[in-house]
Amino acid sequence: MDKFQFYLPTRIIFERGCLSKIGELASKYGKKCFLMTMGEFATKYGFTEYILDKISERELSVYLYDEVEMNPTERGVNKINELFVDSRCDVIIAFGGGSVIDAAKAVSLLAKLGGKIGDYYFPNVVDKELYPIIAIPTTCGTGSEVTKYAIITEDETGKKKTVLGDTLLPKAALLDANTLKYLTKSIISSTGADVICHCIESFTSNKRSPFSDMFAVESAKITFEYLPKAFNGDEEAKERMLYASCLGGAAINTAGTTAAHALGYYLSSKYHIPHGIATVMFLPHVIDYEIESIKGRIEEFSYGIKLGAPAEQFTEKLGELLNQVDVPKSLGELGIKVDDKNKIVQEGLSFRRNLENNPVKLEEKDLTAIVEKAFKGRPAIK
């Protein structure tokens, strides 16, 4: 049996309505809370006021920062860090999607260890104790509440950079499906696509283990059944996807991601395509390109999630799911210029961490072939 290590110290509270516990939970980690949100969403639907009230009930003080940006930048997190230090808060509450939680991880790091966020990019690994984070995910896709990663956009180049380390993991996560009530179809589609990528990439990665496989299979099984229902407004299905997202995050926390993520980063940084969509545009083509080498793993995955499709038909089944949630079929449909083909490839090649974790060694010619297929698009479903 394969040897492995597994570490996930995050306390997970999964319960509809558990947002009411935020004051009680925060009091276990500090006395002054730094609440981070993306603003409009949290305020419009009353979540900010509700959280502030629950914190006040515990006689904790709170500083509100409600201007976290989508895809946090170096400049952005350095600014938030200055405010956090000045506020003298001792616990961070991150209410939002992956961008908010990633920004919170960066602030926790900078406030404790000093310097600029660029000082900590991979291959550096953070191992010092940081300020505690309570993560409250409001999308059903990124799984950031249970990962040791934070993705930050480099100011000078616009390129995605990774900060990682076990101490970046939030101390606790509140998974309350009531926070998903107002999600748009496009957000459910893009974050659901991210779950699928996490499951398949972790299951085929070089760092996979029996533990990560267990999370990946269960997450994918839920996603194939419930993502289309969540997309069409089913509240119970959204709750199931919140659970699937957490499982997928646990899978990549151990096993990491692979080539599809490496190729997707360019689309997010240059075209501001949502991360899940940017990544899944390449995933079926990566699988097909590598199928002779990963046939056994894909078939095991397919039967494990009760899909029952042989490896050669797996991407057709995947395409059916993506079609049901309106994922574009080709890069052209997304508005990506063919002239950018080489830029996508070159940026993909720079993400060595992802490519070294890929089950098949991919060089420039291989990534070029995959990107060309992504421009042609997924084949029509028969």
Rounded CA-CA distance 241/203 in Å is 19
Q: pLDDT in tens for each of the 382 residues of the chain? A: 778 888 999 999 999 999 999 999 999 999 999 999 997 899 999 999 999 999 999 999 999 999 999 999 999 999 999 999 999 999 999 999 999 999 999 999 999 999 999 999 999 999 999 999 999 999 999 999 999 999 999 999 999 999 999 999 999 999 999 999 999 999 999 999 999 999 999 999 999 999 999 999 999 999 999 999 999 999 999 999 999 999 999 999 999 999 999 999 999 999 999 999 999 999 999 999 999 999 999 999 999 999 999 999 999 999 999 999 999 999 999 999 999 999 999 999 999 999 999 999 999 999 999 999 999 999 876 5
Q: Do domains 11-180 and 185-376 have the same CATH topology?
A: no
**pTM over cut 0.85:** yes
Q: Where are the domains of the chain?
A: 11-180, 185-376
Structure-token match 């170096």, residue found? 74
Cα 263–Cα 264–Cα 270 angle in degrees, nearest 5: 110
At residue 4, the pLDDT reads: 87
The residues that bridge with 348 in the sheet, in sequence order, are none
- pLDDT of amino acid 1: 79
Q: What are phi and psi of 32, to 5 degrees?
A: -130, 115
Q: What is the pLDDT of residue 351?
A: 97
- 3-state SS, residue 61: strand
Contact status, residue 267 vs residue 273, Cβ threshold 8 Å: yes
Q: What is the CATH number of domain 185-376?
A: 1.20.1090.10
Cα separation of 171 and 225, whole Å? 31
Calpha distance 36→96 (Å, rounded):
8
Long-range contacts of 285-293 (CB under 8 A, 24+ apart): 285/370, 285/373, 285/374, 286/258, 286/259, 286/260, 286/370, 287/200, 287/314, 287/315, 287/318, 288/315, 288/373, 289/360, 289/366, 289/369, 289/370, 289/373, 290/359, 290/360, 293/359, 293/360
> What are the structure tokens assigned to 167, written together?
């101490």
Residue carrying structure tokens 């095991």: 300
Compute the CA torsion angle 269, 270, 271, 277 (nearest 10 deg): -40
Secondary structure (3-state) at 70: coil
For the domain with range 11-180, which CATH number is right: 3.40.50.1970, 3.40.50.880, 2.102.10.10, 3.40.1710.10? 3.40.50.1970
Return the pLDDT at 381.
67
